[in-house]
Structure 1
């Protein structure tokens, strides 16, 4: 797996779009934008649309509720949860906005973001599998180096997952450093602020880590009450930094 920066096929004024890969599941729950700086005003959702393969707007696909991060550098666009989650009225009456086998394009032409932005994905079958950190593969560096720790995930995670993983050192304290998602959110790398020391470390996975369909390790988005279910304290994945 390449260790280069994420390959984003849409880059308009340094706005990055996630999922960054070529495909999304038909039960996609959220799209995330990473901004070079906070917007001067709220994103105008009248200028945010999802288009089908024919270029027609998919009506009622997105909620009119962009969610900014605390620093204003990230925006989350929610697909209508009632259409995504089976058993709800909107799902039964309208069905999923995305259909496996089709393509879908995000178009944003709000001047607040600068040049118009487009990102196209192929739509795949629904994702009904939770992230499984126990299946992740950790490539540990050697002690004394400042090389990156690289983690290969079992499946793509949400872009917000970048900050929901951390490294705990042999002393039990969190290590300072720079995290980064790789390869369409299927990998994670961590460059420490100080050289590695020998000993037993742990990759700490926050319980809120989820994929783009809203599935968390402890609960699928499809599960009743998943939106409110707590996932305990997350998971700790041990690894050894050798001399």
Structure 2
């Protein structure tokens, strides 16, 4: 984040990189907004510092708490062969940098976040590619699950641990490492045996890719993800 960032504000993706087909940016505040975020005060700047036109949809989405705002990049510029993509090209371009700037007075001070743009990610989220670093039984060491690319910020609540007895393991989860690592600390000591990560069908990455399909896929808009993902691991 640049100097002069608004106090208590952060974004996801929080890592240094975003994919060219980034769909969603989440703004997180430490206090509720008193009115809707003014989208005219939200800008993406290219590597030369120039505003990228028509990068966002017009309506920021505010959650019930008033402290989390979803900014949607224009999907028509993301999907190849669609009108805006053909006419304008993608808003983000691999190999360049991009800066998010928000100067809505409600934030107190301007907010900035800079990312390097990497090639697009157009594959479904595949838990079989995740790496699980287990803990020893009898301890409360955190379980660490690493994904090859960032997950959406909501993924923290979309993953659960099932114990050898078939019951959900109580504990506290968090996302770290630019949302590439899901870390879970159990409320009680780990028991030995086979455990299971259970991943809710709603889990997505910031590009809108899901467990059952990629965002850019024929008929994807009519397809619902109904099957959860599962990944077994052993506590010894």
TM-score, length basis structure 1: 0.89
Question: How far did residue 223 of structure 1 move?
Answer: 0.3
Q: Which runs of 5+ in 1 are unaligned?
A: 1-7
Task: Report what 2:169 is aligned to.
Answer: 175
Question: How far did residue 39 of structure 1 move?
Answer: 1.8
Q: In 1, Cα distance between the equivalents of 2:2 and 2:184?
A: 23
Question: How far did residue 109 of structure 1 move?
Answer: 0.9
- The answer to which of 145-154 and 172-181 deviates more is 172-181
Aligned positions of 1:155-174 closer than 5 A: 155-174=149-168
Is the counterpart of residue 91 in structure 1 residue 85 in structure 2? yes
Q: In 1, Cα distance between the equivalents of 2:141 and 2:75?
A: 41
Task: From the superposition, tell whether residues 194 and 74 of structure 1 become closer, same or farther in structure 2 (CA, over 3 Å).
Answer: farther
SS of residue in 1 equivalent to 2:222: coil
Q: 1:122 aligns with which of 116, 123, 130?
A: 116
SS of residue in 2 equivalent to 1:91: helix
Is the counterpart of residue 201 in structure 1 residue 195 in structure 2? yes
Question: How far did residue 190 of structure 1 move?
Answer: 0.6
Question: How far did residue 9 of structure 1 move?
Answer: 7.4
CA deviation profile, 1:21-53 (whole Å, cap 9, x unmatched): 212121111111222232222211111111112
Q: In 2, Cα distance between the equivalents of 1:21 and 1:9?
A: 14
Aligned positions of 1:1-243 closer than 5 A: 12-242=6-236
SS of residue in 2 equivalent to 1:184: coil
How many residue pairs end up in the alignment?
Answer: 235
TM-score, length basis structure 2: 0.91
Q: In 1, Cα distance between the equivalents of 2:36 and 2:160?
A: 31
Q: In 2, Cα distance between the equivalents of 1:200 and 1:72?
A: 41
Question: How far did residue 236 of structure 1 move?
Answer: 1.4
Task: From the superposition, tell whether residues 37 and 233 of structure 1 become closer, same or farther in structure 2 (CA, over 3 Å).
Answer: farther
CA deviation profile, 1:132-171 (whole Å, cap 9, x unmatched): 2112111221222221111111222122222211112223
SS of residue in 2 equivalent to 1:227: helix
The CA RMSD over aligned residues, in Å, is 1.9
SS of residue in 2 equivalent to 1:56: coil
Q: Which runs of 5+ in 2 are unaligned?
A: none
